[in-house]
Structure 1
Amino acid sequence: MEDISKMEYLKCVIKETLRLHPVAPLLAPRRTSASVKLGDYHIPSDTTVLINAWAIQRDPKWWEKPEEFIPERFENSSIDFKGQDFQLIPFGFGRKGCPGMPFGVASVEYVMANLLYWFDWKLPAGQNANNLDMTELYGLTVNKKIPLHVFPISHTSF
């Protein structure tokens, strides 16, 4: 675990992955307790509001080249999963944010670090990074339309 905390680029890759591909594109519904004016919009009291994390995390107002996978955008950045800047909110934010966020992030970091340590990865014959279909199916969660198949190749001997 100590070594994982030093893997800054891995953390950048995980942030960028969850920015582009949030597990839940729409955060849990919230209900307004009073009427509120938000920008040019008037939202009446007792209105159910859905927050589109997918759209926020791809907004060109906040992100340069928002549709591109650029993990380096998080190097030397203070943007974190807590959603304080409202640019990266795959776990929600504030009082209604996901209470399992620290455990979830630590679990992904641990699993990814171990998968990368113990294996090299290969795409099926005829596929490369340039011709992968990254089309997604949207619903309460996001899934790839065509599953990504990769093959682990052990590079260590036991």
Structure 2
Amino acid sequence: MVIKESLRLHPSGPLPPPRECMKDTNVADYDIPAKARVYVSIWSVGRDPKYWGDDAEDFRPERFENTAVNFKGAHMEFIPFGAGRRICPGISLAMAGVELVYASLLPEFDWALPYGMVKEDIDLAANMGLVCSKKVPLVLLLPSSPLT
């Protein structure tokens, strides 16, 4: 959720290369002629109150809790790596780098379980595949000590 919210507010390329219309098109009552170059501002899409609410400028990772919205180009309100045939080919490498940064920060904090939860309640079941990920996400409270 934190990674998604970070990518929403700070996409790697806020203004990707332009697209060129192949034929005359009409989008939302706008006529776009063939050969016209169209620029899509990923930065402004990620901050649009129409999709993200009045608090679109706020950093709230919980907005991605219990939602299927992802950054693989299927949800047009969240396209930090672009979408369609021209989605960023380095998305896997970029995500590995981002996850490495977050993984290196995690040991620097003393994390606590939510109130009323004990460590026996943690479900360690994994999805099987090339990479094993947790079936049930781990939920932690805010860190109890700052970085030193």
Partner of 2:67: 77
SS at match of 1:61: helix
Gaps (5+ residues) in structure 2?
110-145
Partner of 2:8: 19
Summarize the alignment of residues 41-60 of structure 1 with structure 2, pairs less than 5 Å apart: 41-60=30-49
Identity of aligned residues (%): 46
Amino acid at match of 1:103: L
Partner of 2:106: 116
* Residue 97 of structure 2 corresponds to residue 107 of structure 1: yes
For structure 1, which segment, 45-54 or 18-27, has the greater mean C-alpha deviation from structure 2 after superposition? 18-27
SS at match of 1:103: helix
Partner of 1:89: 79
**Cα displacement (A) at 1:21:** 1.4
Could you say what the CA RMSD is over the residues aligned between the two structures, in angstroms? 1.5
Per the normalisation by structure 1, the TM-score is 0.66
Structure of higher RCO (CA pairs closer than 8 Å, 6+ residues apart): 1
- The number of residues matched between the two structures is 111
Gaps (5+ residues) in structure 1?
1-11, 121-150, 154-158
> Moved runs in structure 1, 4+ residues, more than 4 A?
none
Partner of 1:36: 25
**Cα displacement (A) at 1:106:** 2.1
